[in-house]
């Protein structure tokens, strides 16, 4: 497969955001309104994380897919808000499980308010998302996002089970990130088509775009733990490594490592006995076996499939931005 050309795709997510600006503002209004109706502490925690959540990528995908059918309805906006609530809830729970200190350069909610309040706030946001979905009166959209929510939780459990296990198979790894990350991308896209009245084939195409995009995003996130500056990542360099997370770079390195190097992975990942130079040593092993290049190649394969899924849709400005968004996801690690 030829390497995907990211030329002219820079800032596609921002272009998409501008094109859907009014709808995105309406999503924010729904979010703020729902949080304002909750108790003050939930409001504070929810707003803290949502304000730090960046580009609203998942709700933007829902709005973009609906816009492919010229649908800018209230239901698409409500559904996009539900998607953001689901995503935010998973971030709250993730940070508690991972004992994270930073998210996008800001203190995590669990550091500010504690684990108990963060978990309960996440539960509230999950419940709120289902209230919003019910308001759309679309059983199909509700089914899609409810299924994704269940799979996200399954993926969290499976991620914990493969933690500290560099010998994990690629199949198990992709099963985890498929559920934990890619499912919500896929369901966000599919639900936008559902709410706009698209047929089953179009729904499947939208899901495949989002799912493959989500897989690529997670692989690049894995890479960014090892080859980016903290201020670009919004977290500390090597956080995943220090926690012993089993990510694709670790799995590939384990498969290629000699006996001495495997003892290094056992010490640092399985036993979490890490010295001050071990992150640097891990990166040197990655460079030796061209692990970064292999991960990028794999993510490019998913991006190729993602873009291919859009062939069913008419050629529009929105479609161009979705293609650009997919292409530029590879550039995040540079």
Q: For residue 160, what are the β-bridge partners?
A: none
Q: Tell me, which fold does domain 12-333 have in CATH?
A: Farnesyl Diphosphate Synthase (1.10.600)
Report the pLDDT value the prediction gives residue 110, as an integer from 0 to 100: 62
H/E stretch holding 133 reads helix 115-135
Report the pLDDT value the prediction gives residue 144, as an integer from 0 to 100: 95
Report the pLDDT value the prediction gives residue 38, as an integer from 0 to 100: 76
DSSP string, 165-232: -TT--HHHHHHHHIIIIIHHHHHHHHHHHHHTT--HHHHHHHHHHHHHHHHHHHHHHHHHHHHS-HHH
Within its chain, how far is the Cα of 212 from the centroid? Answer: 11
SS3 101: coil
Q: Residue ranges per domain, the chain?
A: 12-333
Of 204, 151, 153, 214, which Cα lies nearest the Cα of 181?
214
Report the pLDDT value the prediction gives residue 288, as an integer from 0 to 100: 97
Positions of E strands within the chain: 102-103, 106-107
Counting beta carbons within 10 angstroms of the beta carbon of residue 97, is it exposed (0 to 12), middle (13 to 18) or buried (19 or more)?
middle
Of 59, 55, 46, which Cα lies nearest the Cα of 91?
46
- Tokens representing 11 are 């800032």
**Rounded-to-integer distance, Cα 305 and Cα 182, Å:** 13
- Phi/psi class of residue 199: alpha, beta or left (left: φ > 0; alpha: ψ in -120 to 50)? beta
In the predicted model, residues of the chain with pLDDT beneath 70 are: 1-10, 49-54, 93-106, 108-116, 228-236, 332-334
Report the pLDDT value the prediction gives residue 35, as an integer from 0 to 100: 83
- Tokens representing 298 are 């794999």
Report the pLDDT value the prediction gives residue 92, as an integer from 0 to 100: 77
């Amino acid at each position: 497969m030829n390497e995907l050309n990211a030329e002219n795709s820079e800032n596609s997510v921002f272009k998409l955001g501008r094109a859907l600006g009014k709808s995105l503002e309406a999503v924010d209004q729904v979010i703020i309104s729902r949080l304002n109706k909750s108790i003050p502490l939930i409001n504070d925690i929810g707003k803290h994380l949502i304000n730090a959540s960046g580009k609203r990528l998942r709700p933007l995908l829902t709005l973009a897919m609906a816009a492919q059918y010229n649908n800018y309805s209230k239901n698409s906006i409500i559904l996009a808000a539900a998607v953001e609530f689901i995503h935010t809830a998973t971030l709250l729970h993730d940070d508690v499980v991972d004992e994270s200190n930073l998210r996008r350069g800001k203190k995590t909610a669990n550091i500010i308010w504690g684990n108990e309040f963060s978990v309960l706030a996440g539960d509230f946001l999950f419940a709120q998302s289902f209230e919003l979905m019910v308001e759309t009166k679309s059983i199909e959209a509700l089914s899609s996002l409810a299924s994704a929510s269940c799979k996200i939780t399954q993926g969290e459990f499976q991620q914990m089970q493969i933690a500290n296990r560099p010998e994990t198979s690629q199949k198990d790894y992709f099963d985890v990130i498929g559920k934990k990350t890619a499912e919500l991308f896929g369901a966000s896209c599919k639900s936008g088509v559902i709410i706009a009245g698209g047929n089953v084939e179009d729904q499947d195409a939208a899901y495949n775009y989002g799912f493959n995009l989500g897989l690529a995003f997670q692989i690049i996130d894995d890479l960014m733990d090892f080859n980016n500056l903290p201020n670009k990542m919004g977290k500390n360099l090597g956080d995943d490594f220090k926690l012993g997370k089993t990510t694709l770079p670790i799995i590939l390195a384990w498969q290629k490592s000699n006996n001495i190097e495997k003892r290094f992975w056992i010490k640092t990942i399985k036993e979490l006995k890490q010295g001050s130079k071990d992150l640097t040593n891990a990166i040197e092993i990655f460079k030796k076996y061209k692990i970064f290049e292999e991960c990028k190649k794999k993510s490019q394969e998913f991006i190729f499939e993602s873009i291919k899924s859009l062939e069913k849709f008419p050629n529009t400005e929105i479609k161009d931005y979705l293609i650009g968004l997919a292409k530029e996801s590879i550039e995040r690690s540079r």
